[in-house]
Structure 1
Amino acid sequence: MTHDHDLVLRPTEAQREAALNPPPGRTGGDLVVETLAGLGATTVFGLPGQHALAVYDALRRSDLRYVGLRVENNAGFAADAYGRITGEAAPLLLSTGPGALTSLAALQEAAAASAPVLAISSQVPVRGLGGGRHGYLHELPDQAASFRGVVKSVHTVRTASQIPSAIAAAWQSALTAPHGPVWVEVPQDVLAAKTSIPVVTGVDATPEELVPRPELTAVAAELLARAERPAIVAGGGVVRADAAKKLRQLAERLDAPVVTTFGGKGAFPWTHPLSLQSWLEDRHTTDFLEDADVLLVVGSGLGELSSNYHTFRPRGRVVQIEADPGKLEANHPALGIHADARLALQALLETVPERSDPTAPERVRAVLERVRERIAGQDRTLEQEVLGAVRRALPARSPSFWDMTVLAYWAWSAFDAKAPNTMHSAQGAGGLGYAFPAALGAAVADPTRPALAVSGDGGALYSVAELATARQHDLDVTWLIVDDGGYGILREYLTDAYGATPGDPVTELTRPDFVALAESFGVPGVRTTPGTLEADLTAALASPGPSVVVLPAVLRMFAPTHTG
């Protein structure tokens, strides 16, 4: 009897010939590069280091595109965005010790946002593994331990023959729901040593499907069918699973209002009659969700930001679909369905009957009107005008990347993302410096659309070195820097909570002339005003290559409402 797997395991004549006659001079670094190419990678991000040079030597002999950044953390942010845009695992090449550790904040963001990043780090020679006492340059007592609490899986290689299997296992882990970053480390001597191992030509790393249990979706379908006031919270899991169309189908079948979390921006059409948009820091939205007799939460753990700072208290039944088992019922009791959002929504679509609620659109309009009235009473016209100018200037399908800055906080609630997987921010882990290097990664992933990065002056100072990267690779990214003289959002928090006064040295910053700085890298820069922002930003986005637009302005947050 012939089984399918017999056919899969039998090498082709070309594979057999390549295996029996490997080219001379190959090293463990070649095995790394060949495995990545065999898995389908076309681009790698990173930063070279002494221990990792064998990989970079092998890259010179390959067809893989290498995009080198200036700081490892920024390389991680670029890989994160590349993974989000393409849905592929983004290889990130790092060196040992300090180089590896510098990427930790970026990998934390990738983990929080479920971005598939395949980090491959060098290590000290094999005899130094697990010791921390041999005196090797960059040596850590246990390098892998520094990453184990951040990434999905850790893979340590000790021999050249383990390289293809370790990278394939990590690739599969990164792309199995929930997507996320993974870590592979290979000792320097293993990377540098000559090898007679056959050329890597066939690598199977198909992600496992996370299928919902049918008895759970049957119960969920029954609850939704009988609900009088169903509502839906759509999180980032909907975007990562490419499930926005299925979400819309289900919402329309149920006549269920939908609110998207900050990580789920674009998962549901902003102007749809059932769209509650993203006003999660508003008590009117919170009250509406609490009043639902059945609340379907898809791809969200209802964490701090998604639950209006943990003030949300549902009174009805909660059905939670979540690929990360650690987030299931972590904050609220629920019918927990451990599954990929796309597969679970499909199961519900196959079983939930149509229900009609002609009052739903009017109830949604009433909530949004109350939100608008509340914001209108806070004298935040400038902020809304600036955000509106950004939206009008940015092409509908162009991706935007937002740092932790006042304008981004506005955008979480008030920005129409236009489409799924087009608006990305650092709110998963909340680190500074995300926007610009992430936008560079997006421009590498899709050079057909200009990308926008939005930073404050404080966050921009984390990333200015990458102006060199943008120029070197001629990446089509426009960087909007809102210069308010310091850490604007922290200034507000410090003033409100601790009574700090204007000019407090903790949050005030000496800044460079960002326009002159950009131009010193050969990147065009322009200083704008709120009145000219739309025109200047439109022109910058329409011009190929990198550009910088600086807006000197002090923006203020709207006052959120956490309690009724």
Structure 2
Amino acid sequence: MKSIDSAETDDATPSSETAFLNGAEILIRTLKDINVDTIFGYPGGAVLPVYDELFDVHDLNHVLIRHEQAGSHAADGYARATGKPGVVLVTSGPGGTNTVTGIATAAMDSIPMVVFTGQVPTNMIGNDAFQEADIVGITRPITKQNYLVKDVNNLERVIREAFHVATSGRPGPVLVDLPKDMIQNKCQYSGQKEVSIPSYKPTREGHSTQISKAAHLLSNAKKPLIYAGGGVVLGEAWKELTDMAERLNIPVTTTLMGLGGFPEGKPQSLGMLGMHGTYYANMATTECDVLLAVGARFDDRVTGRLDGFSPNSKKIHIDIDPSNIGKNVPVDVPIVGDVKKVLPAIDRQAQKPAIDDWWDTINTWKKEHPLIIPESSDTIKPQLMVQRISEVTNGEAIVVTDVGQHQMWAAQHYTFNHPQSFLSSGGLGTMGYGFPAAMGAALGCPDRPVVCITGDGGFQMTIYELATAVEYEIPIKIAIMNNNCLGMVRQWQELFYNKRYSHSILKKGNPDFVKLAESYGAAGFRASNPKEMDSVLEQAMEINDRPVVMDFVVEEFENCYPMVPSGAALNEMVEGEE
């Protein structure tokens, strides 16, 4: 993550005319001073002083979203795509509570975000005033840190601390609650850039003894495997990981959050592991003798049944957050530190292991158990839809998803060769995340194509943001995998609940997505068979001045495989209907 500590501006030291500023002016001045360029927000009474200040500000992009939840998702997407912290500004009460789902989403995936919430004046806090909510108390379990500003003299320091905490160590969301009188009162603006929190000093350098132990294990392994998580992407360690894996010729599997952290076009890539991971990634995890976990937290969707997870391996775990190490899986060599620094330190000491037999085994698994795209001339197979999007975009797009079958198919069948290219709610599994996060990604990376692969269920949760995307001419390509149901729920009901499809079928309630898109001023297309699909994609890619909604009517009862059933070990995969 990019730190805000090195921000430099020519006007950091205030002149005598601007030395005394009100809280709203201090907020905007500090944001500009630390190089914030985009805010996702929605006005309300408690933050009107800030919005009045924004009226005359032209070098800070404020994006008016249509719902605060979407604002926090958009800031999250902006952060994942750019590596810079996302910023949210909302009012008190429901304005703050509406951001909670987005904050929790960011917290579970360690995404840097700073959320500014309005609050009733300090003398009214606790009196059940209009639009009062204890947002600090509400968000305490889902933020890395939060603040209630009670003295305007502390405001500038708190803002700078908030960004420092959000972007350093293990990143995460931070909330700053701003009582209305604190953004109206005045004090002197210092412009002091240095941030020092004596009690907060994340460890970045790995312990030399532990690094030597890790290098020794890798050098002498017969069946080594690198298991790379989201920390590789967040820690911007993709080059270090690629250099090490190529030099030592060790296979690499990534988590959902780690996709793109290692190029999938490399021969060492095994794709994603876990519940819907590749057969060969899951088998390699099960059979390896040394497992190097890099910036991963051994999530239950990755491990499957814990007593069956990589049972015969020595485990090395690198993570900047010491609380992650040993939390879910015991490890033999724990290393607390920044993966960007620790990986090269291990690589310098490790020798290339002799693992030809291991590669023979892996290549046999790849040959005998590939990911399959079923053929059909009449209906669009979801897997084919993702593959064609990957081909049309040459694997260069930022792909953003909601949660469900389409999310897993996107992870399996889009070829990710670049970091910060796959954005998805991994830990919390938030439906409605995809579309607003795609807006944030597109605004943060205007030179890259952005494709939102979503489901007909998830898209409708935040569909109203089409108004925002049209207003700001955000050229997202929205690909709806329309199977007229809540796909993953329906799949589980088919496999584990005797096909009792309780409240998972949407057919009668779905709108005409094309007409709906056009009513907002977006472009809309529909494809109902494979021949129409290519034509729709071709037309959509030519439109660059507004969002495009592509309604792909896919096979309704297609299931996502491979699949590790709940309670099973990784090597107990279901590979298909048979």
TM score, norm. by length of structure 2: 0.89
Q: What is the match of residue 3 of structure 1? A: none
Q: What is the match of residue 54 of structure 1? A: 49
Deviating beyond 6 angstroms after TM superposition, the runs of 4 or more aligned structure 1 residues are: 11-14, 373-381
Q: What is the match of residue 575 of structure 2? A: none
Q: What is the match of residue 576 of structure 2? A: none
Instruction: Report the Cα offset of residue 143 of structure 1.
Output: 2.2
Q: Which whole-Å CA distance do the structure 2 matches of 1:235 and 1:378 have between them?
A: 35
Q: What is the match of residue 347 of structure 1? A: 345
Check whether the contact 2:222–2:358 (CA below 8 A) recurs between aligned residues. Answer: no
Check whether the contact 2:41–2:88 (CA below 8 A) recurs between aligned residues. Answer: yes
**3-state SS of 2:428 partner:** coil
Q: For 1:368, give the aligned amino acid.
A: K
1:109-160 C-alpha deviation (Å, 9 max, x unpaired): 111222111111111211233x2xx1311223x3211111101111221111
From 132, 154, 160, give the equivalent of 1:168: 160
Count of residues paired in the alignment: 546
Q: What is the match of residue 4 of structure 1? A: none
1:284-307 C-alpha deviation (Å, 9 max, x unpaired): 533322222211000111111221
Q: What is the match of residue 92 of structure 2? A: 96
Q: What is the match of residue 553 of structure 2? A: 552
Q: What is the match of residue 117 of structure 1? A: 113
Q: What is the match of residue 411 of structure 1? A: 410
Tell me which moved more, 76-85 or 108-117: 108-117
Q: Which whole-Å CA distance do the structure 1 matches of 2:297 and 2:12 have between them?
A: 46
Q: Which whole-Å CA distance do the structure 2 matches of 1:122 and 1:301 have between them?
A: 34
Q: What is the match of residue 178 of structure 1? A: 170
Q: For 2:16, give the aligned amino acid.
A: L
Tell me which moved more, 545-554 or 383-392: 383-392
Match runs of 1:145-156 below 5 Å: 145-156=137-148
TM score, norm. by length of structure 1: 0.91
Q: For 1:316, give the aligned amino acid.
A: S
Cα separation, partners in 2 of 1:225 and 1:251, compared to 1, 3 Å: same
Q: What is the match of residue 193 of structure 2? A: 203
Q: For 1:558, give the aligned amino acid.
A: Y
Q: Which whole-Å CA distance do the structure 1 matches of 2:534 and 2:103 have between them?
A: 34
**3-state SS of 1:437 partner:** helix
Check whether the contact 1:260–1:268 (CA below 8 A) recurs between aligned residues. Answer: yes
Cα separation, partners in 2 of 1:43 and 1:317, compared to 1, 3 Å: same
Check whether the contact 1:233–1:297 (CA below 8 A) recurs between aligned residues. Answer: yes
**3-state SS of 1:183 partner:** strand
Instruction: Report the Cα offset of residue 274 of structure 1.
Output: 1.6
Check whether the contact 1:22–1:196 (CA below 8 A) recurs between aligned residues. Answer: no
Q: What is the match of residue 5 of structure 1? A: none
**3-state SS of 2:461 partner:** coil
Q: What is the match of residue 321 of structure 2? A: 324
Q: What is the match of residue 360 of structure 2? A: 362
Cα separation, partners in 2 of 1:127 and 1:371, compared to 1, 3 Å: farther
Q: Which whole-Å CA distance do the structure 1 matches of 2:88 and 2:269 have between them?
A: 37
Check whether the contact 2:233–2:420 (CA below 8 A) recurs between aligned residues. Answer: yes
Instruction: Report the Cα offset of residue 67 of structure 1.
Output: 0.8
Check whether the contact 2:169–2:320 (CA below 8 A) recurs between aligned residues. Answer: yes
Q: Is 1:497 matched up with 2:496?
A: yes
Q: What is the match of residue 437 of structure 2? A: 438
Q: For 2:163, give the aligned amino acid.
A: W
Instruction: Report the Cα offset of residue 378 of structure 1.
Output: 13
Instruction: Report the Cα offset of residue 89 of structure 1.
Output: 1.4
Cα separation, partners in 2 of 1:359 and 1:377, compared to 1, 3 Å: farther
Q: What is the match of residue 397 of structure 1? A: 396
Q: What is the match of residue 245 of structure 2? A: 251
Instruction: Report the Cα offset of residue 14 of structure 1.
Output: 6.6
Instruction: Report the Cα offset of residue 358 of structure 1.
Output: 3.4
Q: Which whole-Å CA distance do the structure 2 matches of 1:354 and 1:316 have between them?
A: 18
RMSD (CA atoms): 2.6
Instruction: Report the Cα offset of residue 20 of structure 1.
Output: 2.7
**3-state SS of 1:149 partner:** helix
Tell me which moved more, 77-86 or 355-364: 355-364
Q: What is the match of residue 447 of structure 2? A: 448
**3-state SS of 1:20 partner:** coil
Q: Which whole-Å CA distance do the structure 1 matches of 2:549 and 2:279 have between them?
A: 37
Structure 1: which 5+ runs fail to align?
1-7
Q: Which whole-Å CA distance do the structure 2 matches of 1:395 and 1:205 have between them?
A: 43
Instruction: Report the Cα offset of residue 228 of structure 1.
Output: 1.9
- Give me the identity figure in percent: 27
Structure 2: which 5+ runs fail to align?
573-578
